[in-house]
């Protein structure tokens, strides 16, 4: 995002920070919270966040209202995490990958092939395993509230289809600003190019990068399919989107409001699961009509290439315990 726009956005939010609280209780006692995210209004995540806002208002009898700020208008994911830390933004939806540089345990979600499939992913994300991860940022100013399915991440490129890690050789692939995603591309043999989501379309168009990796909605809602025509199901990661909230604002809420917001968040995640499935089917159909080709490579060579990362995560102090529990959740089926 252009620095001056960001500066203007932040300046507008400054009075809230100075008053020690981003959320505003009006004379009538209504608490209004700002929720920032980087997707368009047509994106499934936006619809689920709108449902979260609706449910919060309903469950609190109109005492808590959530205002949505989509399209990255308050900044990139890194910037809105920082704004949520200070309380200039109350709530934000960001990718778990963007949280990695704030709390190392979130790096787990960028670990390629952590989850075996969607059932394993949902089993973990709906279990108590994630509670400790959500709480891990309490001391740095925010907490996780719930997750939204971000599908599976796959490679897409302008020209050459990626059927094997060898195809990545010499290719500049955009990744999220995540140390784990960077290592993944290096291990697979490509050149990782970290940048924020909002810059990817232009980077693809101008040839700054050869490709990127994301779920299918990036092709349609973010128009990447206009430029990148080869989409390949490596299914190397299932990175959830995480709803985060400023910790001080959370602590100031009454017990009833906390309960209502937690329930609204949970219900909106379940709502999202259904919206997501429909949106992906539509994104694939629309992309095909726009000339995108979908391919299914053998995943084994990709999995083999990233084995060293699994070994590292199984040992690393910040991830070892969670890695074990997440892997066991699959084996226990």
Q: Which is nearer to ligand GCU, 141 or 240 (CB)?
A: 240
State the minimum distance, in angstroms, from the CB of residue 124 to ligand GCU.
Answer: 18
Q: Which is nearer to ligand GCU, 90 or 216 (CB)?
A: 216
State the minimum distance, in angstroms, from the CB of residue 49 to ligand GCU.
Answer: 11
State the minimum distance, in angstroms, from the CB of residue 156 to ligand GCU.
Answer: 11
How far apart CA 282 and CA 325 sit, in angstroms, is 34
Q: Which is nearer to ligand GCU, 45 or 326 (CB)?
A: 45
State the minimum distance, in angstroms, from the CB of residue 283 to ligand GCU.
Answer: 11
State the minimum distance, in angstroms, from the CB of residue 180 to ligand GCU.
Answer: 13
Q: Which is nearer to ligand GCU, 10 or 94 (CB)?
A: 94
State the minimum distance, in angstroms, from the CB of residue 284 to ligand GCU.
Answer: 16
Taking CB atoms, the residue at the shortest distance from ligand GCU is: 197
Q: Which is nearer to ligand GCU, 90 or 241 (CB)?
A: 241
Name the site residues for ligand GCU (rule: CB under 6 A).
Answer: 38, 45, 77, 94-95, 150, 176, 197, 214, 218, 241
Q: Which is nearer to ligand GCU, 230 or 241 (CB)?
A: 241
């Amino acid at each position: 995002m252009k620095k001056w726009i960001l500066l203007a956005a932040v300046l507008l939010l400054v009075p809230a920070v100075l008053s020690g609280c981003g959320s505003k209780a009006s004379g009538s006692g209504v608490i209004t919270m700002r929720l920032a995210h980087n997707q368009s209004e047509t994106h499934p995540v936006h619809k689920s966040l709108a449902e979260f806002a609706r449910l919060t208002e309903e469950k609190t009898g109109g005492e808590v209202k959530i205002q949505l700020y989509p399209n990255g208008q308050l900044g990139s994911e890194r910037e809105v995490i920082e704004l949520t830390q200070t309380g200039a933004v109350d709530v934000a939806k960001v990718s778990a990958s963007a949280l990695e540089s704030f709390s190392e345990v979130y790096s787990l979600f960028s670990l390629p092939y952590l989850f075996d499939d969607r059932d394993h992913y949902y089993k973990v994300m709906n279990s108590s395993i994630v509670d400790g991860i959500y709480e891990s940022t309490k001391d740095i100013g925010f907490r996780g509230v719930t997750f939204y399915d971000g599908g599976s991440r796959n490679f897409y490129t302008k020209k050459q289809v990626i059927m094997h890690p060898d195809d990545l050789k010499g290719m500049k692939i955009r990744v999220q600003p995540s140390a784990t995603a960077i290592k993944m591309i290096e291990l697979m043999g490509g050149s990782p190019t970290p940048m924020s989501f909002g810059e990817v379309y232009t980077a693809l168009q101008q040839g700054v990068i050869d490709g990127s990796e994301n779920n299918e909605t990036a092709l349609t809602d973010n128009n990447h399919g206009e430029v990148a025509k080869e989409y390949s199901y490596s299914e190397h990661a299932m990175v959830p989107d995480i709803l985060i909230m400023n910790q001080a604002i959370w602590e100031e809420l009454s017990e009833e409001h906390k309960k209502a917001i937690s329930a609204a968040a949970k219900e909106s995640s379940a709502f999202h699961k259904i919206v997501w499935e429909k949106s992906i089917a539509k994104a694939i159909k629309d992309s095909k009509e726009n000339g995108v080709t979908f391919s299914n490579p053998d995943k084994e060579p990709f999995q083999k290439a990233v084995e060293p990362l699994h070994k590292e995560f199984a040992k690393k102090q910040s991830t070892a315990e969670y890695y074990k529990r997440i892997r066991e959740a699959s084996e226990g089926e």
